[in-house]
Structure 1
Amino acid sequence: MQDPHRRVLVAADMESYSKRNNVLQHRAQVAFRRVMDDATTAVGLDRVDWLIQQGGDGELAILPPRTSERTVAARLAPVADRLLREVNQGLAPEAKVRLRLAVHQGLVHLDGANGFPSEAVVHVCRLADSPQLKQALRAFPDANVALIVSDSVFHEVIEHYRDLRPDQFAEIRAEIPDKGFSATAWIHVPGENAAAATPRRADTPSPAAGQVFSDITTIGPAQFGNHNTMRNSDG
């Protein structure tokens, strides 16, 4: 076994992919590849050098050495959101492509016999698949991307360089109980303030009756998470 390499990791998944028929799955895959190619090119990244493990509904990418973590953590999601807005214009809801993106970094073995042995790889994939990120994307129906970054990426990149506003990230506990996974992470939705707002759709209960997010805590006046309540100012 060769020594591991420290790399930036990106996991991407499409929302509601398995609910599509074969034709819509094919179209979604084409749109996904085009958007990821165009978004990475737009921010100065070269996907030719990415090690990509593909799935029908997304991908896991191991980025090359010396990749800018600032670019990946702060610029990729907003650009992908903009490109998907163009792709989704005029499409029926079931045909739209919306993405969950997760960013992490850590040690990866590149010589695995059937993939990339790495706790960091498992971690980034669990973040992308976490119910908390899925719920955040559903809560912002006008958004096309929801980004989740690991705690280390938030504190080492987002907080220090502020290419995205740290106060617009929602701190959560990403949990997948049946996988034994629980980790602090941070959610950002381009064009929205995930930390301070709880947007409601027509079929979403009002704040007095319940909440949209679960297992989410914020820094500031907003309050949401399991067993928390939100009341109107008149009580």
Structure 2
Amino acid sequence: MPRYEYRALLACDIARSAGRGERRLQEIRSALRSALAEALGAAALDVRDFTRVDTGDGSLLVAPAGLPKAGLLFPLLPELQSRIRAHNREAGADTRLRVRAAVHAGEIRFDPDGTASGAPFEALARLLDSAPLRHATLAGTGGTPLAAILSQHFYEETVGHGYEGLEADAFTAADVRVKEYAARAWLWYPGSPIGPRAGSGQDSGSGRDPGSGEQPAQPAQPAQPAPSAPRAVEQLVRATGNGTAFAVHRGNQYIRHNDRG
């Protein structure tokens, strides 16, 4: 019999990874994996406790059962941003990183054969592929090192509870519409108040990295939330078209992803 467990999810995707060639792609994939592992460690989280899915030009992390959801935001996001900035300062133009991240949580189906699936994966893929998040990564002269988007549910369960480091004014409301998925979400980007509180040597207040040429991202305009239709749990969750499909089966990962920058 399948079982259902409530899990937090974090997906990261390297913007504009296509066209860099196989060698450069492997370099930036390795850089992202290292940055994620180091950021998790700095946030007192063990990467070995997470189920990690390699999505080709990114990673999907399924958090262990019982992990407080706020731990996927603070200090993890500022720590990850700090490490991406550090990588970019030393990297050439063709190996610099701009990363999109999406965070969600929900009931996941685990089948006896080890397959994990469910509606939360679909919502996560839609958030990662959304226009507000893509636009956020393009802000500034050289693009944003890290821009993240939270589902409404995740926002309410973390930022809405007033946990330390999660100031509500660090997040900007956005209206997400990707194919049939429509929902309110929340953006986090460099320059927001949460960033300088990470204690990672970032600029205080401005969110700008000295010498990087990056300018703070401009906040998205708030929009009215759109209704979201209920979704049934599926054996394989797909975000069709220019999106992502995630599935985990006995340790193997099945991914389809078409990067649009």
| 1:70-96 residue CA offsets vs partner (Å, 9 max, x unmatched) | 111232111000011111104333321
Give the whole-Å Cα distance in 2 for the aligned partners of 1:167 and 1:213: 11
Range with bigger deviation, 27-36 or 70-79: 70-79
User: Could you tell me which residue of structure 2 aligns to residue 7 of structure 1?
Assistant: 7
Q: Which residue of 1 aligns with 2:222?
A: 217
Cross-structure match for 2:92: 92
Cα gap change, 1:129 to 1:115, in 2 (>3 Å): farther
Task: Give, in angstroms, the shift of residue 24 of structure 1.
Answer: 1.1
The 3-state SS of whatever aligns with 2:160 is helix
Q: Check whether the contact 2:81–2:146 (CA below 8 A) recurs between aligned residues.
A: yes
Q: Any conservation in 2 of the 1:7–1:108 contact (CA below 8 Å)?
A: yes
Task: Name the % identity.
Answer: 24
Residue 159 of structure 1 deviates from its aligned partner by 2.4
Query: Gaps spanning 5+ residues in structure 2: where?
Result: 195-205, 209-217, 225-261
What TM-score, normalized to structure 2?
A: 0.70
Q: What aligned pairs does 1:57-206 form with structure 2 within 5 A after superposition?
A: 57-111=57-111, 115-140=115-140, 141=142, 143-162=144-163, 163-177=165-179, 180-192=180-192
Question: Which secondary structure state, in structure 2, belongs to the residue aligned with residue 25 of structure 1?
Answer: helix
TM-score (norm 1): 0.77
Task: Please say if residues 104 and 124 of structure 2, whose CA atoms lie closer than 8 Å, have aligned partners that are also in contact.
Answer: yes
Contact 2:39 2:83 in 1 (8 A): yes
Structure possessing the higher relative contact order (Cα contacts under 8 Å, 6 or more residues apart): 2
Q: Relative to 1, partners in 2 of residues 1:125 and 1:114: Cα closer, same or farther, differing over 3 Å?
A: farther
What letter corresponds to residue 152 of structure 1 in structure 2? H
How has the CA–CA distance of structure 1 residues 60 and 18 changed in structure 2, closer, same or farther, with 3 Å as cutoff?
same
Q: CA deviation at 1:192?
A: 3.5
Q: Deviations over 1:51-83 (max 9, x none)?
A: 122111112221111112111123211100001
RMSD: 2.6
- Cα offset, 1:18, TM superposition: 1.3
Structure 1 stretches lacking a partner, 5+ long:
200-211, 220-235
Q: Is the 8 A contact 1:132 1:175 kept in 2?
A: no
Shift in alpha-carbon separation, 1:113–1:132, aligned structure 2, 3 A: farther
Q: 1:147 to 1:72 in 2, by over 3 A?
A: same
Distance 1:60 1:115, change over 3 A: farther
- What letter matches 2:27 in structure 1? R
2-structure distance, mates of 1:38, 1:167: 27
2:177 aligned partner, one-letter code: E
> Greater helix share, 1 or 2?
1
Distance 1:72 1:34 in 2: 17
Closer/same/farther in 2, CA of residues 70 and 22 from structure 1, 3 Å limit: same
1:111 CA drift (Å): 2.4
Give, as a single letter, the amino acid of the residue that structure 1 aligns with 2:160.
E
Q: Which residue of 1 aligns with 2:34?
A: 34
Question: Per-residue deviation at 1:131?
Answer: 1.6
Code of the aligned partner of 1:159? G
Q: Give SS of 2:154's match.
A: helix
**How far apart are 1:185 and its partner, in Å?**
0.4
* Mapped partners of 2:143, 2:18: distance in 1: 21
Task: Tell me the CA shift for residue 137 of structure 1.
Answer: 1.2
The letter of the residue matching 1:176 is V
Q: How many residues align?
A: 201
Alpha carbons of structure 1 residues 93 and 153: separation in structure 2 relative to 1, 3 Å: same
Q: Name the CA distance, whole Å, in 1 between partners of 2:26 and 2:75.
A: 27
Q: What letter corresponds to residue 109 of structure 1 in structure 2? A: R
The one-letter amino acid paired with 1:146 is: A
1:171·1:185 contact (CA, 8 Å) conserved in 2?
Answer: yes
Equivalent-residue separation in structure 2 for 1:142 and 1:135 (angstroms): 10
In the TM superposition, residue 114 of structure 1 has moved relative to its aligned partner by: 8.5
